[in-house]
Structures are given as C-alpha cells and as structure tokens.
Amino acid sequence: MLKAVFNLIYPKVCYSYGEAIRGKIKNVCISCRANLAFLNITDFTNNPIQQLFWGRVTFEKATAFAKFEKNGTLQKLLHSLKYKGGKRSWSYFR
C-alpha cells in the first residue's frame, strides 16, 4: 500500500520520453525498447561499422550494439545518462 502511494506521488517515468511506466517495467518503457534499432553484428573483422572508419583511423576490431538516430530513442537515453544522471536507464542493457 505504501509503495502504491509513493508511486502516485513519484511515478516511474521512462528515461527516454518521460512517459509514466506501469507495472514491473523499469526505466525504459516497452515502446522505447521496441524503437531501439539493435544491430546484430557478429563478424568483428569485416562489418559496416569498420567500413565507416577505414582509412581514417587504425584499429583491430569495431562493433556497435545499436543504431544511433538523430532525435531517436538511443539519443534520448544517452542524453538522460549524460545530463540528467540517468544511470539507472542503462540497467536495461546489462
């Protein structure tokens, strides 16, 4: 009961868009999770991420876990982490 009153006063909000989160979901709402463009790069020696940097820098391997889109979900999560102290927003990715 006390937890319900606390959630009424201080509702859980999505770190990406600030919408209220209901239920047992933590930090990032279902809609934002669905909008994340995860990349499935398993070849660490010849992939599109490496091709972006060919001829610019020397490296052995390169990869990325998600695609960054201007004003997208990942950008909003990064902004939350960097400027709003939203370290808990990244617990979703552990």
Q: Any idea where the domains of the chain sit in the sequence? A: 2-89
4: nearest Cα among 26, 31, 23: 23
**Assigned token pair, 62:** 């390169």
Residue 12's pLDDT band, with cuts at 50, 70 and 90, is confident
For residue range 60-91, list pLDDT tens digits in order.
888 888 888 899 888 888 888 788 776 665 66
Over range 37-45, report the average pLDDT: 78
Question: Which of 82, 81, 83, 84 is closest to 92 using CA atoms?
Answer: 81
Segment holding 50, helix H or strand E:
helix 48-53
Claim: this prediction has a pTM higher than 0.75: no
